[in-house]
Amino acid sequence: GNQIGAAFWRTISGEHGLDGSGVYNGTSDLQLERMNVYFNERLVINTFL
């Protein structure tokens, strides 16, 4: 289950031009089209104590 889920997100991320940290590195408007079907942009603050 988890391995299939991880493989799915790797595939979808790659198809949309996202790297492992979720940053868009592509140059195609087509890749950005309907990206919000699977992804939502959010601010994430990393805090180290």
**Would you say residue 43 lies in a domain?**
no
Domain extent, residue 10, equals 2-37
Q: pLDDT tens digits, the chain, 49 residues: what are they? A: 778 888 988 898 888 888 888 788 888 888 777 777 777 777 777 766 5
**In the numeric block, which tokens belong to residue 49?**
């104590």
Q: Tell me how far apart the alpha carbons of residues 28 and 34 are, in angstroms, rounded to a whole number.
A: 13
**In the numeric block, which tokens belong to residue 19?**
């790297």
**Would you say residue 16 lies in a domain?**
yes
The verdict on pTM exceeding 0.85 is no
**Would you say residue 31 lies in a domain?**
yes
Q: Is the dihedral of CA 39, 33, 15, 21 positive or negative?
A: negative
**Would you say residue 44 lies in a domain?**
no
pLDDT at position 49 is 59
pLDDT at position 39 is 73
Number of domains in the chain: 1
Q: Is the dihedral of CA 11, 13, 19, 21 positive or negative?
A: negative
